[in-house]
A = this chain, B = another copy of it.
Amino acid sequence: MTKDVFLYDATLRDGAQTEGIAFTVEDKLKIARKLDEFGIDYVEGGWPAANPTDLAFFERVREVPLRHAKLAAFGSTRRPKLSAEEDPQVRQLVELGAPVVTVVGKSWTLHVKEVLRASLERNLSMIEDSVSFCKRHGVELIFDAEHYFDGYRADPGYALETLRTAECAGADIICLCDTNGGVQSQQLVEAIQAAQGAVKTTLGIHTHNDCDLAVANTLLAVAHGVRHVQGTINGYGERCGNANLCSLIPNLQLKLGKRVVDQEALTRLYTLSHYVAEIANLPPLDRQPFVGRAAFAHKGGIHVDAVLKNPATYEHIAPDEVGNQRRLLVSDQAGTSAVVYRAAKVEVDLPKDSPEARRIVARLKEMEHQGYQFEGAEASFELLVKKTMGLYQKLFDLEGFRVIVERHPDGEILTEATIKVTVGGVSEHTACEGDGPVHALDGALRKALEPFYPNLREIKLTDFKVRVMDTEAGTAAKVRVLVESSDETESWSTVGVHENIIEASWQALVDSVEYGLMKHGEGRNNKQ
């Protein structure tokens, strides 16, 4: 494939600057291989001199070299008072065996004077020496013109001079960086055009999202002839992050008709985004363009109805083009259509104008008015549908429970739950301690049910969320509890609402257990 635009991924260096991210060497290797498979052209491995993890990465990655992507080592221009050869940071760049070296240099007089504390002349010779030293070692060289746009605004002549210096020294690509993310579109275009007038070298663009414009500014640069694009997966990076490759790639390929990656690879974009989020241990952003879980989720009733008639009515691309999928949310904003669609997904055939459909919608609205929310609790929704349709039989009857939390004079806290249930006429009365009241209650319920339903052992509580509603009423307000559970194959969410947090938790726990057991074949109504 002849490419119109080349992609340079900086997730392993700029992305690692995100608050909360701390990649191990193994993490970096995994991400690098995934980027390689996906068809990214350049993978920046890190700054070996600044970070021992990055150095170890360059050593380890040699064991299984990347197949498609070129590996880039990142470093800065030489120190003011050393030659390039003498500066270990620069020497290391060419000794790592990476085919590409990216050297960052200053293009903004403010930085030269206040951060480097060097003369403007000295900075130019630092660029010149560092670039030509690396080029003599046969690498492909990318010069990152740090703060080029701020520099151009402050002193256009000097900013352009730094580019010319890198070009004369042999740089293969000169990347114009909006390091502070503050540049606006009009200024960006002017500065790019000035750079195009000053140098013949291939230009690149590197933007940050401090003004919410990183993606737009990158696309604008491409529209003005820039062919080398830097960014990170999920827009990770210092402060507000870098240009998001997960937005750039589909915009370039699907919207602007640029060849960037294989069409097949594009359908793996969703997976790539979530894979990197998983390794970074950051929750994926549901609202993220193209690859967020909500990017093709429809909540408003009118939207849901229209999408069922023709998806193009409220979807700007087909979700599977980027490996994402459509979701119709159930809420009091949605109408019967969403309920019917969702019921079909759980294999319940619910005609749109049937009394059952209307009954379920009415019940949903009533419950949502009480504070229930089924968007995040698909399993409770499914139970509600099946119960309304007569497709579900109770697994047990609750006689009662009691939860006691005691604080002793020595500060020790004791939590105990007791519970009484009957299953098929047989009564069980159990007790359990826990770290907190819900933990104890969950324990007692399991003790009571496991003799009858041994599959329960495979179901685990994995998440627990509490929201207090109408908070103006203080502790007498209503509480919504969401519980997430999973077994070996799946995870599901359930909801409970009550003024008493223990009762709200109980409702969510019961739904969680009922849903989990139904999955294993219990509780289905065989009359159906």
> B434 to A475, Cβ gap below 8 A?
yes
Stoichiometry, as copies per complex, reads 2
Known A-B contacts A475-B434, A475-B435; the reply to A210 vs B295 at CB < 8 A is yes
Query: Is A110 among interface residues, defined by CB-CB distance under 8 A?
Result: yes
The 9 tightest CB contacts between A and B, nearest first, are: A182-B316, A216-B216, A461-B474, A212-B247, A439-B475, A466-B466, A436-B500, A212-B215, A180-B316
Query: Is A355 among interface residues, defined by CB-CB distance under 8 A?
Result: no
Q: Which of A31-39, A59-67, A236-244 contacts B (4 or more CB under 8 A)?
A: A236-244
> B437 to A501, Cβ gap below 8 A?
yes
Query: In the complex, what distance in Å separates the CA atom of A313 from the CA atom of B294?
Result: 37
Query: Is A225 among interface residues, defined by CB-CB distance under 8 A?
Result: no
> B215 to A51, Cβ gap below 8 A?
no
From 98 to 124 in chain A, residues with beta carbon under 8 angstroms from any chain B beta carbon are: 110-111, 114-115
> B368 to A22, Cβ gap below 8 A?
yes
Query: Is A186 among interface residues, defined by CB-CB distance under 8 A?
Result: yes
A28 to chain B: which residues have CB within 8 Å?
Answer: none
Interface of A toward B, CB cutoff 8 Å: 16-20, 22, 24, 26, 50-53, 76, 110-111, 114-115, 179-182, 184-186, 209-213, 215-217, 219-220, 223, 235, 238-241, 244, 247, 251, 255-256, 281, 285-290, 292-303, 305-306, 309-310, 312-317, 329, 331-333, 368-369, 373, 375-376, 398-409, 413, 415, 434-439, 442, 460-472, 474-477, 479, 484, 498-503, 505-506
A332 to chain B: which residues have CB within 8 Å?
Answer: 51-53
Known A-B contacts A114-B309, A215-B213; the reply to A19 vs B184 at CB < 8 A is no
**Interchain CB contact (< 8 A) of A247 among B16, B211, B309:** B211
A186 to chain B: which residues have CB within 8 Å?
Answer: 223
Query: In the complex, what distance in Å separates the CA atom of A238 from the CA atom of B213?
Result: 20
A465 to chain B, nearest CB (A): 6
**Interchain CB contact (< 8 A) of A313 among B114, B211, B475:** B114
> B184 to A313, Cβ gap below 8 A?
no
**Interchain CB contact (< 8 A) of A111 among B281, B294, B313, B465:** B313
> A209 to B333, Cβ gap below 8 A?
no
**Interchain CB contact (< 8 A) of A211 among B182, B251, B462, B467:** B251
> A438 to B403, Cβ gap below 8 A?
no
Query: In the complex, what distance in Å separates the CA atom of A408 from the CA atom of B477?
Result: 22
> B19 to A297, Cβ gap below 8 A?
yes
A501 to chain B: which residues have CB within 8 Å?
Answer: 436-438, 466, 501
Query: In the complex, what distance in Å separates the CA atom of A406 from the CA atom of B437?
Result: 12
A219 to chain B: which residues have CB within 8 Å?
Answer: 184-185, 213
Query: In the complex, what distance in Å separates the CA atom of A368 from the CA atom of B338?
Result: 43
> B212 to A251, Cβ gap below 8 A?
yes
A255 to chain B, nearest CB (A): 5
A320 to chain B, nearest CB (A): 15
Given contacts A20-B376, A216-B217, A464-B474, 9 further A-B contacts (CB under 8 A): A16-B333, A76-B302, A181-B289, A185-B216, A210-B295, A211-B247, A402-B406, A463-B471, A466-B466
Query: In the complex, what distance in Å separates the CA atom of A289 from the CA atom of B506?
Result: 40
> A210 to B316, Cβ gap below 8 A?
yes
Across the interface, name the chain B residue whose C-beta is closest to A115.
B306
A460 to chain B: which residues have CB within 8 Å?
Answer: 474
A54 to chain B, nearest CB (A): 10
A66 to chain B, nearest CB (A): 20
A-B contact pairs, 30 of them (CB 8 A): A19-B286, A19-B299, A20-B375, A24-B470, A111-B313, A114-B313, A185-B220, A210-B289, A211-B247, A211-B290, A216-B216, A238-B297, A240-B292, A240-B294, A398-B409, A400-B408, A400-B409, A401-B406, A402-B407, A403-B403, A405-B502, A413-B500, A413-B503, A436-B475, A436-B476, A438-B475, A438-B501, A439-B474, A464-B475, A466-B467
> B52 to A369, Cβ gap below 8 A?
yes
Query: In the complex, what distance in Å separates the CA atom of A337 from the CA atom of B426?
Result: 65
Known A-B contacts A216-B216, A402-B406, A467-B281; the reply to A474 vs B500 at CB < 8 A is no
A505 to chain B: which residues have CB within 8 Å?
Answer: 475
Across the interface, name the chain B residue whose C-beta is closest to A401.
B407
A406 to chain B: which residues have CB within 8 Å?
Answer: 400-403
